[in-house]
Amino acid sequence: MKPVVPPPLQLSVAFALAATAAAVALALLLLHVAVPPVLLALLAVVTLAGFALVERVFLRDVAAIADYAHRLGEGEDATPPAICTPLRPVVSAVTRLRRSAQLQCDQTRAELDANEAILEALHDPFLLVDSHRQVEHANAAARALFGERMVTRDLAASLRNPSILEAVDAVLGGAASRSVEFSLPVPVERMFEVRVKPFRRRRPAATEGVIDAPAEERTAILTLHDITAIKRSEQMRADFIANASHELRTPLSTLLGFIETLRGPARDDDDARDRFLGIMHDQASRMTRLVSDLLSLSRIELDEHMPPGGAVDVVARLQGVLAAFELKAHERRIRLRLVAPASVPPVVGDDDQLTQVFQNLISNAIKYTREQSEVTVTVSVSDGSAVGAASTGGASMGGVRVPRIGGGPMVAVAVADHGEGIARTHLPRLTERFYRVDAARSRALGGTGLGLAIVKHILNRHRGRMTIESEVGVGSTFTVYLPAEAGAQTKAAERRGAA
Ligand SMILES: Nc1ncnc2c1ncn2[C@@H]1O[C@H](COP(=O)(O)OP(=O)(O)OP(=O)(O)O)[C@@H](O)[C@H]1O
Ligand SMILES: [Mg+2]
C-alpha cells in the first residue's frame, strides 16, 4: 500500500468549509427550515469559493506535473515540483519511472562501452560501413592500417581496392556475404582476407520528440584477417617442393645419361666406364647428402618447440669439429685456428645439434675462403645485452628468428674466413632452404644449400641467434650466440683442466 499524502492545511480548510457549507445548505433545504435568503446566499458563496479554490490548486498541480514530465522527456535533470494536492504520488511515480529509465540507459551505455572496448582491442581490423558506404566505426587496428581520419568518410577515400568496394556495394545493395583477398604493399607487403557481411540495423527514427516505429538500415561489417604468414608458408611449401625436386632431378638425369652411355656407345670403353662411374658415384652421393639433409631438417623442425636440456662444452666440440676438418682444410692449404678464453661456461643445448651447427659454419668457411688463407674460430662470453646490441647494430643480419634473450650470459662462437664475402642483398635470405649466392659454384663444391637453414632451425630451438658480417672481397664472419647454462661459469674449464 502506497502512503496517502495529506493535503496541506489551507487546502483542507477550504475543502472542509466548502463541503460544510454545501452540507448545511442542503440539510436546511431538505428539512424545510425557514432560513433567511441572505444566509442561503452566504452558504452558496462559501461553497463555490471553497470548491473554486480547490480546483485552482488541482489545476496548478496538474500543470506542474505535466511540465515536470515534459522536461524529463527532453532529457533535462528537472527537480520534482512541490505538490500540495493528493496528486503528489503521481510525481513520485514519474520520478521513479525516470530513475528506472536512467538506470536502464546507464546499463545500456556501460554495455556499449564494453563492446566498444572489445572491438577496439581486437587484433584484426574491423569496420562498420553505413548504407551510404561511409565508415561509421573503425577499430584501432583498422585506423592504424588506413589512417585515423577514415571515420565519417566514404570507404573509398581510405581503401581504394576496387574488389573490396565492389563487394561492399553489392552487400549494401542486398547481396549475401562476400570474401575478398587484397594486399597492402607498404611499408611491408601484407596480404589480407576481407570478409564483408551484411548487417541489418534497427534504428529508431525520432520526429518531434515522438519515437516512431524503428526503421531498418542495411549496413556492412568488414573484418580483415592478416593471411600474410599463411600465404608465405604456402609459397614456401610450393617453392620447397619445386626446389627439392629440382635438386634431385639434376643428379638423377646425370645418372640416367651416364647409364645410357655405358649401355650404348661406351659399352666397351674401360677408361670411359671408370670415369663415368666416378661421376655417377659423386652424383649418387650428392643425392644421399641431399636426402639426409632434408631428413635432418624435418627432424629438427619437429622438435624445434622443445628446448634442449643438456649442457654442452662448446670449446671441446669445436676442437673435435676442427680436427675432423683438418684434412679438408689441408687440401686447400687453409690454416684452422681456435681462439678461446681459459674459462667458458657450458651452454644449454643438444650435443649433436650444436656439433652440426659448428660443422656447417666451419665447412662453409673452408669451402668459401681463399686458398692458403686462414679460418679463425673465436669463442667469447658476453652478457645478453651485448648480444642485443650486436643484433641491432649496423652489421648484417642472418635472418634468424630469435626470441628475446633474458639477459643472461651468452657464449659467442665467431667463424671468420677470408673469402670473397657476400653482398648485402643476399644476407637476409642466406638461411632460406636452397638459397645460394652462386648456385652453380655451391653445387660444384657439393653443397645442397641446406646447411644454413639447418643452422637457423637448430638455433631457434636453442633460443640462440646468429649474426652475419660480411664484406665483399674481404671475408665473412658468422657469429652464433648460445645461452650459457645458469651458474656454470667455470665448470667446463675445470672439467677440461681435470681431463
Ligand atoms: N663463409 C661463407 N662465405 C661466402 N658465402 C657463404 C659462406 N657461407 C655460406 N655462404 C653462401 O650461403 C649459401 C648457403 O649456405 P649453406 O651452407 O646453406 O649451403 P651450401 O654451403 O651451399 O650447401 P650445404 O648444404 O652443403 O651447406 C652458400 O651457397 C653460399 O653462397
Ligand atoms: Mg654449407
Tens of pLDDT, residue by residue over 118-148, are 999 999 999 999 999 999 999 999 999 899 8
How many whole angstroms separate alpha carbon 124 and alpha carbon 190? 13
Q: How confident is the model at residue 401 (pLDDT cuts 50, 70, 90)?
A: very low
Q: How confident is the model at residue 165 (pLDDT cuts 50, 70, 90)?
A: very high
- Pocket lined around ligand 1, Cβ cut-off 6 Å: 293, 360, 364-365, 368, 417, 419, 422, 430, 435-438, 442, 447-453, 476
- Residue among 365, 375, 383, 337 nearest 455 (CA): 365
Q: Which residue has the cell 651416364?
A: 258
Query: Which residue, judged by its Cα, is nearest atom 17 of ligand 1?
Result: 451
How many whole angstroms separate alpha carbon 217 and alpha carbon 220? 10
> How would you label 56-79 residue by residue, b for 16+ Cβ within 10 Å and e otherwise?
ebbeebeebbeebbeebeeeeebe
pLDDT tops 60 at residue 387? no
Q: How confident is the model at residue 384 (pLDDT cuts 50, 70, 90)?
A: low
pLDDT tops 70 at residue 492? no
How many whole angstroms separate alpha carbon 96 and alpha carbon 87? 15
Amino acid letter, residue 1? M
pLDDT of 494: 52
Q: Which residue has the higher pLDDT, 395 or 163?
A: 163
Instruction: Give the atom of ligand 1 at the shortest distance from the alpha carbon of 431.
Output: 18
Nearest ligand, CA of residue 473?
1
Q: Which residue has the higher pLDDT, 320 or 442?
A: 320
State the average pLDDT over residues 402-429: 83
CATH architecture assigned to 230-302: Orthogonal Bundle (1.10)
CA of 451 to the centre of ligand 1 (A): 7
Nearest ligand, CA of residue 293?
1
Rg, the chain, Cα only? 45
Amino acid letter, residue 242? A
CA of 449 to the centre of ligand 1 (A): 6
How many whole angstroms separate alpha carbon 112 and alpha carbon 428? 47
Tell me what percent of the residues of the chain surpass a pLDDT of 90.
Answer: 52
How many whole angstroms separate alpha carbon 322 and alpha carbon 376? 10
Tens of pLDDT, residue by residue over 453-466, are 999 999 999 999 99
Instruction: Give the atom of ligand 1 at the shortest distance from the alpha carbon of 449.
Output: 19
Task: Please give the distance of CA 279 from its chain centroid, rounded to a whole number.
Answer: 52
Residue 182, number of CB atoms within 10 A of its CB: 15
415, 424, 436, 480, best to mutate for ligand 1 pocket (most atoms within 8 Å of CB): 436
Return the H-helix or E-strand segment holding 221. strand 215-226
Tens of pLDDT, residue by residue over 287-339, are 999 999 999 998 898 888 888 989 999 999 999 999 999 999 999 999 999 99
For all residues of the chain together, what is the average pLDDT? 86
Query: Which residue, judged by its Cα, is nearest atom 29 of ligand 1?
Result: 436
How many whole angstroms separate alpha carbon 59 and alpha carbon 305? 83
Checking phi first, is residue 32 left (phi over 0); if not, alpha (psi -120 to 50) or beta? left
State the average pLDDT over residues 412-430: 94
Q: How confident is the model at residue 366 (pLDDT cuts 50, 70, 90)?
A: very high
Burial class (CB in 10 A: 0-12, 13-18, 19+), 196: buried
Q: How confident is the model at residue 4 (pLDDT cuts 50, 70, 90)?
A: very low
pLDDT tops 80 at residue 495? no
Joined together, the cell numbers standing for residue 97 give 519511472
Q: Do domains 122-206+215-226 and 230-302 have the same CATH topology?
A: no
Q: Where are the domains of the chain?
A: 9-102, 122-206+215-226, 230-302, 307-498
Grouping H, G, I as helix, E, B as strand and the rest as coil, residue 350 is coil
Query: Which residue, judged by its Cα, is nearest atom 26 of ligand 1?
Result: 447
pLDDT tops 70 at residue 396? no
pLDDT of 187: 75
pLDDT of 397: 40
Q: Which residue has the cell 652453380?
A: 440
State the average pLDDT over residues 238-259: 89
Q: Which residue has the cell 664472419?
A: 477
CA of 450 to the centre of ligand 1 (A): 8
Tell me what percent of the residues of the chain surpass a pLDDT of 70.
Answer: 89
CATH superfamily of 307-498: Histidine kinase-like ATPase, C-terminal domain (3.30.565.10)
Q: How confident is the model at residue 385 (pLDDT cuts 50, 70, 90)?
A: low
Cis peptide before 187 (omega within 30 of 0): yes
Q: What is the chain's length?
A: 499
pLDDT of 193: 96
Query: Which residue, judged by its Cα, is nearest atom 27 of ligand 1?
Result: 451
Backbone angles phi, psi at 219, to 5 degrees: -120, 175
How many whole angstroms separate alpha carbon 98 and alpha carbon 75? 10
> How would you label 432-441 residue by residue, b for 16+ Cβ within 10 Å and e otherwise?
bbbbbbeeee
Instruction: Give the atom of ligand 1 at the shortest distance from the alpha carbon of 417.
Output: 1
Interacting residues of 470 by C-beta distance below 8 A, sequence separation 6+ = 396, 421, 422, 424, 427, 476, 477
Identify any residues that bridge with 480 across adjacent strands, giving them in sequence order. 413, 466
DSSP per-residue codes, 254-316: HHHHHHHHHHTTTTT-HHHHHHHHHHHHHHHHHHHHHHHHHHHHHHHHHTTTS----EE-HHH
pLDDT of 303: 82
How many whole angstroms separate alpha carbon 42 and alpha carbon 36? 10
Q: How confident is the model at residue 209 (pLDDT cuts 50, 70, 90)?
A: low
Q: In CATH, what class is 122-206+215-226?
A: alpha beta
Joined together, the cell numbers standing for residue 158 give 581510405
Nearest ligand, CA of residue 289?
1
DSSP per-residue codes, 432-499: STT--SSHHHHHHTT--S-HHHHHHHHHHHTT-EEEEEEETTTEEEEEEEEEBPTT-TTHHHHHHHH-
- Residue among 389, 419, 428 nearest 405 (CA): 389
